[in-house]
Structure formats: C-alpha cells, structure tokens
A and B are shown apart, each in its own frame.
Chain A
Amino acid sequence: MSREQSRRDFLQGSGALIVSFSSAALFERLGFAQGPFGTRASHVDPRRLDSWIAVAADGSVTAYTGKCELGQGMYTAQLQLIAEELSVPLARVKLIECDTEVTPDQGTTSGSQSTPTNFNERNLALAGAAAREALVRLAAERLGVPVGQLAVADGVVSVRGDASRRVSYGELVAGKKFDIPLSTTARRKPVGEWTVLGKPVARVDLPALATGQFEFVHNVRVPGMLHGRVVRPPAVGAQVVRVDEGSVRAVPGVVKVVVRKSFVGVVAEKPWQAVQAANQLKVTWTPGVGLPPQHDFYDHLRKVPSRDALLVNSRDVDETLARASDVVKATYLHPYQMHGSVGTSCAVADVQGNKATIWSATQSAYPTRSGAAMLLGLPADSVRVVFVRGSGCYGINGADTVSYDAALLSQAVGKPVRVQLARQDEMAWENFGSAYVVDQRVGLDGEGRIVSWDYEAWSPTLGGRPGYDRPGNVVTGWAAGYEPLTVTPGTATNPGRAFSNGSNAAPSYIAGCVGGACGGAGTVRSERVLTHTVPSPFFTGPLRSPSRLQNTFAHECLMDEVAARVKADPVAYRLRHLRCAAERGCQGGGESGGLGRAAVPESRHSTNRHCTRSRFRLRDLRGRQRICRHGCRGGRGPGHRRGCSEAPGGGAGLRSDLEP
C-alpha cells in the first residue's frame, strides 16, 4: 500500500473530524498560537476536545497523541487509556500518533515522560474523560434523563435500571465534531472501576512485527521515490573544499549530486546505485579540527575550561570529610557510547515547491518540523512530519539528522527521496551518550553511616536534541551551516532556587537541601554536587536517559563499595540512607526478607514518594549488586581495583576506578 493510499484511507476512516482540522488550519495562518506546550503555532489546538478525540458514526473512537510508539508499548497503552476512559472495547479504538497535520504538539517522546504526560490528569487522559462526559451529557438530552441516571458500557449510554432506553456514541455524535473546549475539570474514571487499564494487554503491533508485515519508516514507499545517500566528513570539523561531480558521472542511475555548504549527498534511482555513487564521489575536505589525545582523554576533560554548576552545597563538606571516621574515595569513568540502533536511521521526504512531507522516526515530530523548515527555507506550517516507527532509538539516534538529510536531498531534486544511513555514518556521527569522569568522596561516622557526600564530575557536550530551533545540534544541520549548542565556560554560582536533579548528578542518598527545602530522597545533609560541562569534539545526546546512566552507575557502585567497606547488606545499607525509610518505615512491606518496597529513586522523580514504587526495582538492585561484586572481585588488586560492570540495559563498556 502506498503512502497516498493509506492517507486517503485514513481520511475516509476519520470522517468529519478531518474537516474540522482542515478549517482549523486557516486559524494558524491567521496567527493562532497553541497552548500548553507553547512552542510554535500549530493548528491542532490542545485546548479543544476535537484535537484529541473523534467519534465516528460507527461508534469507533480515534485518539490523537503526540507521544509515539518507540518499542516501549506506548501505542497499546494509549489504546487502553482511551478504551477505559470512554468505556469502549479496545478493538474499537484507533490511535493516530505524532503527525503534525492532525496530532497536538506534545514535544518529544522521551525522558520516561510519556506516561506522566498522558496518563495523569491532563492531556490525553483528560481528553478521554472529557469526551465521555460530553457524550453522557448529549445522551442525557437525547433520553430526557439526568446525567446521574445514566451508565456507559461498550460505547452505549443507557438509563440505569431500564436498559431499553439507550443510545450509542455513534448515534449521539454521528461523525460530527464535539466543537467544545477541552474541559479542565473532567473526572477520570476511578481506579476501582478500571477494566482495561492496569490489566495486561497484548501489544497490538506484535503480530505484524512477527510476520514481517509491519511498516517501519524503512519500508515507506512513495510513488516516484528516489534514493539518497549522504557523504559525511572524514574527520571532526572537516568542511567541504571541492566536490568533483564528474567523479560519479559514469555511475548508473545517478540523478544529482547535492552540496550545501558542507552537506554532501547523492540522489540515484535505486538504493544500491546511490551507495555506489556515494562511495565513488570525490570530495576534498579541510583537515578538520583534530581530536584530544585518546590516551589521557579523561584527564583532558578535567583540564579544559568548563561551565560549572552546583546542584547542592551545604558548605561544610570539607570539614565533615576531615572529621569523618573513614572516607571512601572513588573515580568512575564512562566512555562515549553510541546508541547503536540495529537498523541505521532512515527517512523519506517529499519536498515539492513550498510544501514538504517527511516520514520520520523522530521522537520529536513538531520540533523536527521546525528544524526541517529552517533548513528548507519554508514556514513551519508548510512542513508536515509524520512519525513512522524506526529501529529502537534509546535516547537520540540518527532519526532527526536523517530526516534533515532526506528533506535537503528531496528539495534539491523536487521529488520524494528515501535516505537510509550507512552503518559507518550512523556510528561516526550520531549524538553519542556522553563520556563522564565522576570523582566521589563519602565520609563515614563511627557506626559506618554516611555523613558526607562529595560529588564532582566532568562531561563533554556538543549539540543534543535539535528542539524547535537548533538543527545544528545534529550533524546534518551543522554541515548545512547551523551552529550546534556549545559550552560557554563559567564558574559555578550557588545552587538555584530549588533542588533540581534531571540528570541524577545528585545521588539518591543526599538530602538535596536548597533554599531551605530538601528535595532529595536521602538523609545525608553534608552534601556537595559540582558538575563541569566541557566542550566535546563529538556530537552528544541522551543515551537511554540524559546522563542518568553514567551518574547512577557511579552512585550505586560507590554505595556497593561503601557497604562492603562497612560489612553491611548493600540493600539494607541503601535503605538506611533513604529518607522515606527513615521517616515512614519502608521496611517490611516487600515480598521477602523484610526489605520493603523502597526503590532506587530516579531523576526528577527523586522524592520520597518513590517509597511506594514497585518491587521490581528492588530486584533490579539485588541483581546489580551481584553482578557488581563479581566484577570487583575480578579487579586488579586492592590498590587500583576495576570492574563493577553493571547495568542491565546498556552497561557494556562501563568500568570504575576505585581508590581505597
């Protein structure tokens, strides 16, 4: 099925709602701006119920979401949410995800924020509840009974005690739009009444995946589509001096050589021809900017000018460490790590005149629309980004950059172009998870309790997610002349107004006291967390999480080391330093051993409410401890132990250097 056909089917299937979007599009050109995400104008106004939910004449429900399925199960989970809130069977819910033509701007699908964003009291969950309330109100008018006497099941509203008086969603709406604001006071269905949410549901995409029917972005085919290939610089910072277009004249199928500043690509009729042309194209480059020496790269990070930040500083850390009965010091090193998606990134773009459509596996449909519009010299509302799933991304792989590649190449030839990156281009130029050097010192009192925690870290950064206006944060935008986000050196000022720990630089075991309020999850009140951000030669970005992998590795390995030093059970030892355990007695609630349900609090969730989180994290902790100890035993002796390889889910390459 071609993309055009599927788009047509989609329009037919969604009926009247699309009419509302089409007319709403006019508002955007009149300068209508959107609400909560507040970034750029979108004709899909999140304050209108129709932007989230449509009910077709056949009673099926279509939901529109800006949080996309990346392999984490969000597609099926959001189906469950809508089925629950509207009381319709799962099979009668459709979900349209991350398409700037029809879905609200929900920023980026990242940071474990999709569930909090769409499953709490706002956004998609609120829309589901508001739609149910609106439908029940319509039914009350139609049936002539108060709302309180109505019940909803399977998409049918009926009078309690008289099931013969009933009306279905399809009859109530008949394919028309709601045309009402999204209620901010709609009440979600109480948890006790849930029948779909909170229950295991098989992922609806699995059958297509397992039988080779699933359409990844790599499988998107558009009539008249050509195939592009990019030629990336041979070295960091290398720029184009000259491109010899004649060098590929003899390659069969070549349509065009495209050069824009240091962005170089070829377009050919078939993909294998594009590969040949890219391999044979002669490009003269400047030598580039060079790289820091690799043998002492971590020391290099400590020496270059940095932008510093203090997350917390109790101003007594040096004294408490000096007074401590014992001090454990450790340095943890983390190399750059690539995301290494199994499939190289791919996108298809169709840029013709002043209109562009990009089929993209980006996690950021609207931001990618804005960035691509900048590169193409078009207004953002002339660009449509349609999310189609790619290979797992784990932070940020090449999905954004290859979307720009396809857009630039398509614009140059005026025809649809598909680009799939070469493995070497993906690996050399993706936004790596950042390298880290973490120095930590922990002071212990006479009973082996941690009384002081000192953290200092260095990490390099360049670029990142492009957001709405930084296409230079990924290689294609940089090559085309846009600046990436870089580091402006500066010394640390005192911590801000409130404790903020988005990168988990602060360990879970400190109190996190800033401005008189303690936002950390732990008990250690003598605390200092100092970060140094330094310039990176390579593009960087979140790997599995924004720096939390690196920091959590350092913190939890150190906790294991300290627990071993004081001969304490490593889980019990952690609990002793969590505020929730101290204040509310978390011990005893768990499934075994009386160790309770305390967890390793994480990132922005680092408050003691995490005390109530699930048990499996505790199991994670136990698993990690086992692995970590094993690794440490295999180290190189007491003076300079290495090991502590850990972290199921991305740990390869981690190691620690420990000073006893």
Chain B
Amino acid sequence: MSTIALKVNGRSHTVDVDPRTPLLYVLSDDLELRGPKFGCGLGQCGACTVIVRGRAVRSCQTTVGGLNGAEVTTLEGLGTIGKPHPIQRAFIDEQAAQCGFCLNGVILTAKAFLDEHPKASDPEIQQAMSSVLCRCFAHTRMLRAIARYARENRA
C-alpha cells in the first residue's frame, strides 16, 4: 500500500491503496464518483475515460501509483445538472443518449480532442471518436452534439 495524492475535479484527496490499482477503481470506489465507468478493463471501449493533465486517458489502464500529485477531471468535474458545461449542454439539447453508459467516455474524449483541435472537421471528429464504443447506436445524435459544441465553441 502507498499513499497517493490526487486533485480530482479541483478537490484534493489522499488515498492509501496498492499503487498498481487502476485509477478507475480509486475514482469509482474510493471516491465514489459516478462518471468514469468500467467497460472492458482493456482500454478498448472508452467508458472509463478521464482527463489527466489535459489529456483523455483510459483510467482502467492507468495505475494510480504514477499519478501522485496529478490533476484529474471526470465527467462530473465539467459541469452540474444546474449548470452544465457547454458540451454537456449540447448532449442534453440533442438528446444524445440511449442508455447513457458510454456518455462519460464520449463527452470527455470529444472535449479533450476539441480543446486541442478546435477547428477539427467532422471527419476528423469522427476519427477521434472512433475508439469510443456505444452499443445503443446513438452515434448520429452524439456526433451532432459534438458538432454543435464545436461550432458554438468557435463562434
């Protein structure tokens, strides 16, 4: 066991865990956050995505031991129900979900990509989103929501 300091959604936490524990388990179990989710445990579906130091990472494949002092943003760190982040607002406005389990990875991956590439074209956005899985087939609405956010962001 070792003590790890994390700053998650602006709040400081210290956890005492096996340093080989994936970040996902710390976020969803120790910190009881609802955004990051276990999907495959292999970094292949995107459900566990969080933003670490500005980049979207797969928290099921990121051991917590290497993150001492890191800043982590999860889906609940972007905005709230009362005051959603513009990209969350775009998803609500476009009704872009069915079961909604994948939304965490979809929204955070899109946000991190557009933060870095604000002028990305629709095909570039699609390419960036290709590694995030949705099994309900809500892709069209999601891409519409992302495009809406990108458009509003540029304006």
Contact = CB atoms under 8 A, between A and B. Distances in A.
Given A212-B35, A212-B74, A216-B34, A391 B101 contact: yes
A72 B98 contact: yes
Interface string A181-214: 0000000000000000000001101111111111
Contacts of B77: 212
A616 to B, nearest CB: 14
B79 A211 contact: yes
B8 to A, nearest CB: 12
Contacts of B75: 210-212
A343 interface: yes
A339 B135 CA distance: 8
Interface size bracket, A side: 35 or more
Interface in A16-33: none
A392 B135 contact: yes
Given A210-B88, A212-B74, A271-B29, A71 B99 contact: yes
Nearest to B32: A221
Contact of B99 (A391, A649, A650): A391
Contacts of A207: 81, 84, 92
Interface in A324-357: 339-344
Interface string A593-637: 000000000000000000000000000000000000000000000
B150 interface: no
Nearest to A393: B99
B38 A210 contact: no
Given A209-B103, A211-B88, A221-B32, A71 B41 contact: no
Name which of B89, B95, B135, B137 has the most chain A CB atoms within 10 A of its CB: B135
Given A210-B103, A342-B45, A423 B80 contact: no
Contacts of B114: none
B21 interface: yes
B143 interface: no
Given A271-B25, A423-B40, A206 B18 contact: no
A210 B97 contact: yes
A219 B91 contact: no
Given A208-B81, A343-B39, A648-B137, A213 B98 contact: no
Nearest to A397: B135
B99 A70 contact: yes
B47 interface: yes
A216 B37 contact: yes
11 contacts: A206-B95, A210-B100, A212-B78, A213-B81, A270-B29, A342-B47, A342-B101, A342-B134, A343-B37, A392-B101, A422-B41
Interface of A: 70-72, 202-203, 205-216, 218-219, 221, 227, 252, 270-272, 339-344, 389-392, 394, 420, 422-423, 648-650
